[in-house]
A and B are shown apart, each in its own frame.
Chain A
Amino acid sequence: MSIIKPKDLALTEEKLAPGHRLCPGCGEPTTVKLVLKASDEPVIVCSATGCLEVSTSIYPYTSWNVPWIHSAFENAAATASGVEAAIKALKRSGVYKYDKVNVLAVAGDGGTYDIGFQALSGAFERYHKIVYLLLDNEAYMNTGIQRSGGTPSYASTTTSPDGKVIPGKLQTKKQISRIMVEHEPAYVATISAAYWQDLMQKSKKAFAADGPAFLHSFTPCPRGWRHADNLSIELCKLAVQTCIFPLWEAEKSDGKMVYKLSAPSKQIAKNPDKKKPIVEYLKLQGRYRHLFKPEEKTELIKQIQDWVDTEWNIILERCGEK
């Protein structure tokens, strides 16, 4: 696929208009705008309940320059299934003007890892031709930073606070994208706004895929992660550089899912010295402050590092880099 130039980006229509009410530094609109720009065909968006939905659609205003529907929290994939099926049937009856319309379901980590997982799993098993975009900011941010299945270990949230006895979330982050690969859909990829060309190319692949596609976006939340507004893209980079969020894709080839490491992560696989320690990523975020103050909790930080290493090795293995 050809390289996308910044000029091309500037010249394509904004499908999510400015003036929405998402926070400064929020990772969501950057990702959504880029993903939408990657669609060459008309696109219909099905949003789950969440920050993106409430901040872009406060009646009588809307930021959406594309057809957009929100119905509930746990059902973005099911709603998208209905839209896809309707278009298929309407095309068959000859009343539909467009030959190809992309259907994009968008949900956060709560709406994907937890409450929306059943609908997502069902839609992928039924093989609807939809693109599911997970905006993973690692907690229920819209309701006020509660822990989700996507919250990583020892992150402090309002339902996994760092207390005198318990140092944040005790469990590890669910590996949702690998679970989605096991559904054997057409396409799965992890994306990060810091690597926007990679993001857009993967989005194009997702829209072109001959079946369901899953895009997992690493999506910083300055409010929830308690970091400075201007550090969001920096954190996107660091997440890839520390390998806590590696960039990879998996495509169906001859009926088998084939994993492939994407360039930014591949560089690290080739030069392991470039892999930064996780502490560099953790220390920029207030949600991990209790790991450093009043004294550094070396053992807990080591546990996080070990987890990152283990998961990174799994990805390297899957991608045939080991």
Chain B
Amino acid sequence: MSKIVKQEMMGMNGDTACAYAVKQCNPEVVAAYPITPQTIIVEVFSEYVANGEVTTEFIPVESEHSAMSTSIGAAAAGARAYTASASQGLALMYEMLYIASGLRLPIVMTCVNRALSAPINIHGDHSDAMGARDSGWLQLYCENSQEAYDTIIQAWRIAEHKDVLLPVMVNIDGFILSHTLENVSVIPDDAVKKFIGEKKIPVVKKPNGELTPYILHPDYPASIGAIDLQDYYFEHKRQQAEAMNNALKVIKEIGEEYGELTGRTYGLIDPYMMDDAEIAIIVMGSTAGTAKYVADLMRNKGVKAGVLRVRSFRPFPRDDIVKALKNIKACAVLDRSMSFGSYGGPLFTEIRSSFCYECDKPIIVNYYYGLGGRDAPPNLLDNVFNELKNIAETGKTGEEIRYLGLREGEKDAVNYKAELVSFKDLNTGKIGGK
């Protein structure tokens, strides 16, 4: 058992915690474009650059598309590359997200989760990251600023692990984490440096069987990003799927190693009072904190409530989740984003399908909540536990897909059902107008 390193308590919001962790990691290249609520990260990091606290090449790119393109170029040339984005910015990067993962470049990014337009909204939900859930990036969701700091440091180790070599997206809830001051324990610079180690270059096999370092280097003229057609593309994608699968083990290993250093151990999931729980809320991100608080209150009332926080959404820890939920009678999956036209939210569909062939399965219901930053206070989660309690007792599921904290049935413009008129009708004043 190694000794836990001496730590300093700092007051930081989630964005600053990320920037501080990146400063300690001192990557060669940071390329980023400002977007609310990620801006603090680029602002604080720019100060580090201006004050000579890092040796990083900071590239204030002209768009998020270029932020990811630049990160790709930098990572391919052998640098550690970091970027941060949110919402529309992540959406603009979308094309390049797939290319970063397809080229197997271990880039690290903070996604400060924010709702997607339209309607435009700057507040926190998971729509942005969920849109990128199939992009081949690992997605880790943080509960608080401490975890944001810790996860950035672990992210390099996970991304650069020889069995993974994939980019990692560290998700923090917009405003709720990004702009909220919390106590964050930081480890010394040299401990971070030692933990992440020097950047290593993977050695790969060329089509002709020779070995070569996977890097843009004059002495090893590799072609990176070649056109890959019917005869090879599929195999390369299979390798990528394998790497994502390998990440399940690596995230745990690195999370444990980090725990030995700091006393804070991380895994794929974060079960809270799940050992004997009969009902549970399954959630990602900062809402887990509120859910745990409410679970405590339920426990005080003698209700066997638990919380399962999913930290790693990609890769999806199917086995761990099934194991954690196998003795639960009823559970509620909370989704902070919508997959329009799907039967339930992204987290719900994954969890429900995880139980498809299990004999013992809980009743699983889905709650959409918190879209566009709509608050999810304790009383709402209290309602969820009470409804779960009722489902568990009666065995009656009721509505499977539910909405939490949504105003419904009010007779206002939001609920007006649109009628269609012809363009000519606009000229005749049929529906009023000037």
A residues contacting B by CB (< 8 A) are 42-44, 46-47, 53-54, 57-62, 64-72, 74-75, 77-90, 92-93, 97-98, 101, 118-119, 121-123, 125-126
Complex A-B: 7 CB contacts under 8 Å:
A71-B96, A77-B66, A82-B79, A86-B79, A118-B63, A122-B62, A126-B59
Question: Is B85 part of the contact surface with A, judged by Cβ < 8 Å?
Answer: no
B residues contacting A by CB (< 8 A) are 28-29, 31, 55-57, 59-63, 65-66, 69-79, 81, 95-96, 99, 103, 206-208, 215-229, 232
Contacts A67-B220, A68-B224, A119-B63; A80 near B77 (Cβ below 8 A): no
Contacts A71-B73, A122-B62; A82 near B225 (Cβ below 8 A): no
- Residues of chain A within 8 A of B69, CB atoms compared: 71-72, 75, 78-79, 81-82, 119
Q: Are A75 and B96 in contact (CB under 8 A)?
A: yes
- Given the complex of chains A and B, what is the CA–CA distance between A195 and B59 in angstroms? 37
Select B229's contact among A58, A83, A101, beta carbons within 8 Å.
A58
Q: Are A44 and B77 in contact (CB under 8 A)?
A: yes
Q: Are A89 and B70 in contact (CB under 8 A)?
A: no
- Residues of chain A within 8 A of B77, CB atoms compared: 44, 82-83, 86-87, 90
Q: Are B65 and A119 in contact (CB under 8 A)?
A: yes
Q: Are A81 and B95 in contact (CB under 8 A)?
A: no
- Residues of chain A within 8 A of B220, CB atoms compared: 67
Select B221's contact among A54, A66, A79, beta carbons within 8 Å.
A66
Q: Are B226 and A58 in contact (CB under 8 A)?
A: yes
- Residues of chain B within 8 A of A75, CB atoms compared: 65-66, 69, 96
- Given the complex of chains A and B, what is the CA–CA distance between A72 and B273 in angstroms? 47
Q: Are A121 and B66 in contact (CB under 8 A)?
A: no
- Residues of chain A within 8 A of B76, CB atoms compared: 69, 82-83
Select B57's contact among A46, A72, A85, beta carbons within 8 Å.
A85
Select A58's contact among B55, B57, B62, B227, beta carbons within 8 Å.
B227
Contacts A57-B227, A58-B229; A81 near B28 (Cβ below 8 A): no
Select B218's contact among A59, A84, A101, A126, beta carbons within 8 Å.
A101
Query: Nearest-CB distance from A130 to chain B (Å)?
Result: 10
Please indicate which of the listed interface residues A53, A71, A118 has the most CB atoms of chain B within 10 Å of its own CB. A71
- Residues of chain B within 8 A of A64, CB atoms compared: 221, 223
Query: Nearest-CB distance from B244 to chain A (Å)?
Result: 20
Select B62's contact among A61, A87, A125, beta carbons within 8 Å.
A125
- Residues of chain B within 8 A of A88, CB atoms compared: 57
- Given the complex of chains A and B, what is the CA–CA distance between A31 and B315 in angstroms? 45
Q: Are B226 and A86 in contact (CB under 8 A)?
A: no
Contacts A78-B69, A86-B28, A89-B57; A59 near B226 (Cβ below 8 A): yes
Select B227's contact among A54, A67, A123, beta carbons within 8 Å.
A54
Q: Are A67 and B226 in contact (CB under 8 A)?
A: no
- Residues of chain B within 8 A of A70, CB atoms compared: 224-227
> What is the chain B residue whose CB lies nearest that of A53?
B227
Query: Nearest-CB distance from A2 to chain B (Å)?
Result: 25
Query: Nearest-CB distance from A106 to chain B (Å)?
Result: 13
> What is the chain B residue whose CB lies nearest that of A119?
B66
- Given the complex of chains A and B, what is the CA–CA distance between A93 and B29 in angstroms? 12
Select B74's contact among A59, A66, A82, A121, beta carbons within 8 Å.
A82
Q: Are B218 and A66 in contact (CB under 8 A)?
A: yes
- Given the complex of chains A and B, what is the CA–CA distance between A62 and B227 in angstroms? 10
Q: Are B96 and A69 in contact (CB under 8 A)?
A: no
- Residues of chain B within 8 A of A78, CB atoms compared: 61, 65-66, 69-70, 73
- Given the complex of chains A and B, what is the CA–CA distance between A126 and B57 in angstroms? 12
- Given the complex of chains A and B, what is the CA–CA distance between A121 and B63 in angstroms? 11
Q: Are A59 and B229 in contact (CB under 8 A)?
A: yes
- Given the complex of chains A and B, what is the CA–CA distance between A89 and B56 in angstroms? 7
- Given the complex of chains A and B, what is the CA–CA distance between A126 and B61 in angstroms? 8
Query: Nearest-CB distance from B407 to chain A (Å)?
Result: 41
